[in-house]
Chain A
Amino acid sequence: MKKNIALAGNPNSGKTTLFNELTGANQYVGNWPGVTVDRKGGQLTEHEEIELQDLPGIYSLSPYSPEEVVSRRYLLEEKPDLIVNVVDATNLERNLYLSSQLMETGLPMIVALNMCDLLEQQGIKIDTQALSEQLGCPVVAVSALKQTGIAELIALMLAPAPAAPKQLSYPAPVEEAVEQVMQAYGANRFEAIKMLEGEELLQKGVSKVKAHQLEDIRMELESTMDDDVSSIIAGSRYDAICAFIPQVLVQRGMKEKVSQKLDAVLTHRVAGPIIFVAVMYAIYYLSINTVGDWGTGWANDVLFGPVVGGWLVGFIGNEAAGVEALTMFSAVLAMVLVFPAMLRRLHDMNMNGAWLYLMVAPFLLEYVCPHLPGFLHSAVMYLLWAANGALLLMGLFKPGTRGANNFGSRTHRFCPSPMKLTGRAGRCEFATWFVVLNLVAFGVALLGRSTLDCSPQLQAIITDGIVAGVGAVLGFLPQMAVLFLLMSILEDCGYMARVAFMLDRIFRAIGLSGKSVIPLLVSMGCGVPGVMATRTIENEKDRRMTVMLTTFVPCGAKLPILALIGAMIGQTATIATIAYFMGFGSVILGGMMLRKMHMFAGGYTPFVMELPAYHIPQGANINLRAMERCKAFVQKAGTVIFLASALIWTLSNYNWKFEYLNTAENEAAIEQSMLANTGSTFAPLFTPLGWGDWKPAVATVTGLIAKENVVGTFGVLYPAQEEPAAEGEADPAGDELPRSCDLCKANALTALTMATWQCDTTARTTKAATASEEEEEEAAAEEASASTGEKSLLDYVNAAVAFLFPEVEEDEETSGVAGNVRAAGAFTTLSALSFMLFNILCAPCFAACGAIRREMNSARWTWFAIGYMCLWAYVVAFITYQLGLYFTAGELGSGQIAAALLSLLIIIQVLRPNPHRKSSSH
């Protein structure tokens, strides 16, 4: 027989640790319907008939926060067979306050008294027997951390449910009022109390006459107790709890709390912010420069190099070595990670037609299409891509009915931890579908090397299109892993709450809250987990605003763009400074402007926040959280980039008749591609920004797949004017690539650029003679400026940025591309600057857009956010270019006037007082 058990408790009560302990790998994560609150469920290890539901951490069952609403609805409507109430023993009063409300629901309950060991360190013991008598329900002392008492708890969960717990008794007037309401409305005790508190949720079905009666009862209670009803009831609960606490506590002497001693330093007026900056810098240093760097270096030089790389090269028999082998391996890894969840999804959706299509499509593509006459060939190709498109649209827009009721598909048993991103069936299915499609194609291609002899098109789309894109993203993983791990440690030990506490004032000034700090910091690594981190922000308006602003922060993938433009202009440090300045500036200005808009106005939610006691971070918790983020990164980035790379490759390699252009061998042919055609139609849009050619326009579009693609696309679109033989010779990485395959090289270049940012060592090895010459030149130039003693303010700012942020480094490849672009004369300094600004500020990559869509939980808001970002990027680039023209060339026309007007508008919107601000008085 199935038994549903709900796990309820305060935030920070160790509920999640206990849940993981109880369910092990049998977990699944979804969303509660309608809100972005995780719904975690699972089956008890070795007792699969017990279904455990992890309710969100709450302080009360009042109906104000989404967490409280979903918990309440679950308890009242789905009526679990048993509630396991996790109580933090070190914080008994406040935890029992929730217990008192849970008891009133009338459901059977067990109290799991957690963290007793910590309390004993303070010299206090809790008499569980006495507590059990007071509450009228079984009490078990457990330590989720030390895994004690778990067996006892499980035994209680398996046993027949205990009788409903006792009720705490409140002062006589309260009890009388409750009694009256219960009789008048036929309500149970829980409902009666909530009605007394004036909850609208429960009063809907009440007639007017009866509503008057309720009002009378409330008035009477208020006059007898001389207070407001909600105060009376909250007070009664706390008083009832305090009345029996001395009887259950066995005190043997009190030690001072460690947390407060730590806080004396960590949130000190002066020391606090300094420590915060130091900690953040240490995290970035560790993840970007040292540990993450070793990880990447090891992966590239040892694992993917001779070991896996060599094997893969032998296996697929391709002349392309090194980088491609690495990326191919990474793609396989990505698919292994997402595969189990995908299969489950297909099964859940019960779509056999799609299965058939997926089986047939690659074979059609491979064997039938090449033999068809021209007209039919185009038709079939259109059909195949239309089917792909239909699947994509379905995944995007199909109402998630099934998904919403399913609360996420179950992950495969062998997946060790919850798969957050696959949890929402009906939401990001499109990614899954396309991974399946590409997986099949990939499988066919792999086999093809030995048995199927697949066509060059298929090989190219896999190696150049898909594998390169995915590999580039996965190269980030070691650093992301370290970053996420360290962030999780800070969150778990309680420091992040202090950061929110310290910085709240500053962030409120720009319209955000202290809790927006974490997303912004994570976004410096990658926007996807950054957007996901907004979940800790309770206020919906704050959360939406943070989601909209957080991707302005230059993430890791935007650094290659900075390196490229920097190399083109010859001012890398200055470009990096401008980019970071504008990125954070956009967050600040955006916050100040958006807060004054109607949709973000008002709706003040309290910042009454617990500062949880510091505790030593728990390995399992951190692991899980960091793993979840890494997985989200791999899955989201891996899957979306997977399909988008394939799409862009196709668009750039076929013309409208679906004839293969083979741009790898014939670069000029790309001018006839669908991509070029599409690009030219919307290129004029960018003329006011100074780069109205189709090439930069197309690069911007490919940047939506992954920002670093801009560099790769430039590599393809601006081929070298003359064959740079010497340069090629000096480049060891270039040598390994087939000379004929330039697109492939461009993609490899993307990977290389990423690798450059990832680790100096890789960069050093790829840096060749020309680069070192450049270094010498730079050194000479520096010496010259030093000798004249002229160091401008800009130099200091640049040095500061270089110190604080991961270094934007040029390498051989980037400077090569930059040279080609410069030679083509496509950009002036000004238009290059405007191009860079647009690209770092406009809509983020598809992966981040997906994350935004998930956190916004609404198509309208997602489009609004993306539209806002694009508009802002356009305006900033426009102002920069047009006013720049005025200042450098003295040009004065309609463009300059428009730019000046726009700047004026922005300034007015930033500075004008908030029209919607209600005085915070009461």
Chain B
Amino acid sequence: MNTGNLRLNQVRIGNTVRVVRVHGEGALRQRILDMGLTKNAEVTVHKMAPFGDPLEVTVRGFQLSLRKAEASCIEVA
């Protein structure tokens, strides 16, 4: 895996990025895709939860919460 690329969990709060590729497998990957985080989708990282973990992002006009470990499956640019 080309780990050199930016992952969603590394995006700074407030920035908007595009999905390049979704890694991971099985239920997690399918769920991420089903929620609209597909190739070229625009994602805005909104905030971190008060205790630092799940991230809140906006994708396709709705708010989504996902854990950092899950966000790290999503390669963005």
User: Using a CB–CB distance below 8 Å, which chain A residues touch chain B?
Assistant: 59-60, 62, 64-65, 90-94, 97, 227-228, 230-231, 234-235, 238-239, 259-260, 263, 267-270, 272-273, 497, 500-506, 508, 514, 604-613, 920, 922
Contacts and interface: CB of A to CB of B under 8 A. Distances in A.
Contacts of B47: 263, 267, 269
B65 A611 contact: yes
Contacts of B53: 504-505, 508
A656 B49 CA distance: 62
Contact of A238 (B28, B36, B64): B36
Nearest to A513: B67
Interface string B29-71: 1111111101111000011111111101010111111110110
Nearest to A232: B39
A606 B52 contact: no
29 contacts: A64-B31, A91-B61, A94-B35, A97-B36, A230-B29, A263-B56, A267-B49, A267-B50, A269-B47, A269-B48, A502-B49, A504-B65, A504-B67, A505-B52, A505-B53, A505-B54, A607-B54, A607-B70, A608-B32, A608-B35, A608-B65, A608-B70, A609-B54, A609-B65, A610-B63, A613-B62, A920-B69, A922-B23, A922-B25
Interface string B8-34: 000000000000011111111111111
B66 A608 contact: yes
Interface residues of B, number: 43
Given A238-B41, A608-B32, A922-B23, A273 B50 contact: yes
Contact of A267 (B29, B31, B56): B56
A922 B24 contact: yes
B28 to A, nearest CB: 4
A93 B61 contact: yes
Contact of B26 (A64, A234, A263, A611): A64
A504 B54 contact: yes
Contacts of B6: none
Given A91-B61, A231-B22, A608 B51 contact: no
Contacts of B22: 228, 231
A811 to B, nearest CB: 41
Contact of A606 (B32, B60, B63): B32
Interface of B: 1, 21-36, 38-41, 46-54, 56, 58, 60-67, 69-70, 73
A206 B49 CA distance: 46
A97 B46 CA distance: 24
Contacts of B1: 922
Nearest to B33: A234
A508 B49 CA distance: 13
Nearest to A94: B36
A697 to B, nearest CB: 44
Contacts of B32: 606, 608
Max chain B C-beta neighbours (<10 A), residue from A90, A91, A230, A260: A230
A718 to B, nearest CB: 48
Contacts of B30: 60, 62, 64, 230, 234
Contact of B35 (A59, A228, A501, A502): A59
B50 A231 contact: no
